[in-house]
Amino acid sequence: MNGAEPTIDLKRNRDRMVRDQIAARGVSDPEVLRAMRKVPRHLFVEEALIPQAYEDHPLPLGHGQTISQPYVVAWMTELLEVKPGLRVLEIGTGSGYQAAVLAEMGAYVFTVERVRPLQAAARRRLEGLRYLKVCFKLDDGTLGWPDAAPFDRILVTAGGPKVPEPLIEQLADPGRMVIPVGETRRSQRLHVVRKENGRVVARRLGEVTFVDLVGAHGW
C-alpha cells in the first residue's frame, strides 16, 4: 500500500460496507456504525485478501479459523450493548478485529485465544493501531478468565454445543452475553444471555455459522 489513492479507496469501501451491508440490514446503533467505519478491517487479514476485506462474507485467517462477516460482527456488537468503560470478555481473539471494534467503542477488552500464532498476530495489530486497553490470554476460553472476572459483557465468537457454565458464573449482575450455540457443529443460533437480580434468561435469535468452540465446555 503506497500513495494516497489506495488508502482513500479502502476508506470508501469501508463506508460502503457499513451503509450497504450493515445499516441496510438494520444495525442502527450509531456507536457501532462509527466503530465499523473507523477500524481498518483490511489490516486484520493477510495481504492477499486485502482486496476482499470489505466484502460481504467471512475470510480465512489460517489455522482453520475465520474472521466473521462484517455484518455479523456489527450485529453481535449491537446486541452486546457496549458502553465506554465496561469490561468485556471476548472468547476467540482470532485476527483481533472484533476486539478492535470493542476497544474503539471504549470498552476494556479481555480476549482469550487458544492458537498462539493467531494471538501473536492479533496482539501486534492492536498494538500497532494503539488499541491499548486490550488484555490477551492464551488458554481455553470456555473456562473464562477467572482472575479478571466479573465481566459486564461476554462475547463468544466461536460456536459450541451449550453456554459454558464458567462464563455464566463470570458474568456480572447485571450483565449480558452474546454467544452462538448449536446442536450440531454446522450451524448455530445466536443467543443473548442476560443476568439480572440473580436470574439468568436466554433469548434465541437468528441462525449463524461460526467455527467450532472447542475446549472443556466446547465441542
From the list 22, 42, 66, 163, which residue makes contact with ligand SAH (rule: CB under 6 A)?
66
Segment lying near ligand SAH (by CB under 6 A), choices 8-16, 29-37, 87-95, 197-205: 87-95
Catalytic residue among 28, 68, 95, 187: 68
Residue number with CB closer to ligand SAH (98 or 170): 98
Interaction between residue 97 and ligand SAH (CB under 6 A): yes
Interaction between residue 144 and ligand SAH (CB under 6 A): no
- Measured in residues, the chain has a length of 219
From the list 95, 167, 171, 208, which residue makes contact with ligand SAH (rule: CB under 6 A)?
95
Tell me how far, at minimum, the Cβ of 77 lies from ligand SAH, in Å: 10
Query: Which residues within the stretch 113-142 sit at the binding site for ligand SAH (CB under 6 A)?
Result: 113-115, 118, 140-142
In three state form, how does the secondary structure of the chain look? CCCHHHHHHHHHHHHHHHHHHHHCCCCCCHHHHHHHHHCCHHHHCCHHHHHHCCCCCCEEEECCEEECCHHHHHHHHHHHCCCCCCEEEEECCCCCHHHHHHHHCCCEEEEEECCHHHHHHHHHHHHHCCCCCEEEEECCHHHCCHHHCCEEEEEECCEECCCCHHHHHHEEEEEEEEEEECCCCCCEEEEEEEEECCEEEEEEEEEECCCECCCCCCC
Residue number with CB closer to ligand SAH (57 or 196): 57
Interaction between residue 112 and ligand SAH (CB under 6 A): yes
Interaction between residue 77 and ligand SAH (CB under 6 A): no
Clarify whether 28 is annotated catalytic.
no
Q: How many residues bind ligand SAH (CB under 6 A)?
A: 25
Interaction between residue 188 and ligand SAH (CB under 6 A): no
Contacts of 120 (CB under 8 A, 6+ apart): none
Q: Which three cell numbers stand for residue 166?
A: 464458567
Contact residues toward ligand SAH (CB under 6 A) are 65-68, 91-92, 94-95, 97-98, 112-115, 118, 140-142, 157-158, 211, 213-215, 218
Question: Which residues does the annotation mark as catalytic?
Answer: 68
